[in-house]
Amino acid sequence: MLSVAIDGPAGVGKSTVSKLVAKSLGWHCLDTGALYRAIAVACSRAKIDIKDIEQVKNLLSKIKIDVKFLDGVQHTYLNGEDVSPYLRTEEMDMLSSVTSAYREVRESIIDLQRELARKENLVVEGRDITSNVLKDSKNKFFLDASPEERAKRRYKERIDRGEKVEYKEIYDDIIERDKNDTTRKVAPLVCTKDSIKIDTTNLTINEVVEEILKNIKLD
């Protein structure tokens, strides 16, 4: 099976770009961040202390994360329940940023990600896809943009959803998540030497998609 691996920091537009690339190729797109957010939902519901790794490890033994593609759309399941509607909230942003740094959390879903990529041609986006999950992929891309631009995009996304948020709050969160992602001991966010890096700061979404499509190897 073929894969396109796309990494990048928070707010860079990975999800939107990856879905459009997948649509152009006639493939499905796996948003791996949704898997970590599903674990965050489990942590929130269980009211555990996410800074206590033993509590998190104990919870991991009691949950099962799964993914199904229905009409081309990813649905993420927690113990059989479709939790997709609960994943994109400020609370899940914060919780998943902390819990995804744990080795045990990342290891709990890496097999699922690889299994899905073995079953079909797939565009996979996340933070450690090119460096860890699908490091042997022939198509590896790293999207980047300035923190200011990423905060602007995330702010617009939240406002368009009807949420009341402050730009500075989102900017500060972006900076904090960048720090967490790049300094964590397990699978930190990096641009690998064999990844094509695309600075999206001054590019439209369609321009980013076109840049990726023209560099994909399908043989």
Residue 184 and residue 122 in contact, taking contact as beta carbons nearer than 8 Å: no
| Annotated binding residue 162 | no
| Annotated binding residue 33 | no
| Annotated binding residue 12 | yes
| Annotated binding residue 126 | no
The identity of residue 173, as a single letter, is: D
CA distances from 111 to 19, 54, 136, 145, 194 (A): 22, 22, 15, 30, 23
Report d(CA 131, CA 195) in Å as an integer. 9
| Annotated binding residue 80 | no
| Annotated binding residue 16 | yes
| Annotated binding residue 40 | no
**DSSP conformational letter for 71:** T
| Annotated binding residue 72 | no
**DSSP conformational letter for 127:** S
| Annotated binding residue 44 | no
Binding site members: 8-16
Binding site members for ATP: 8-16
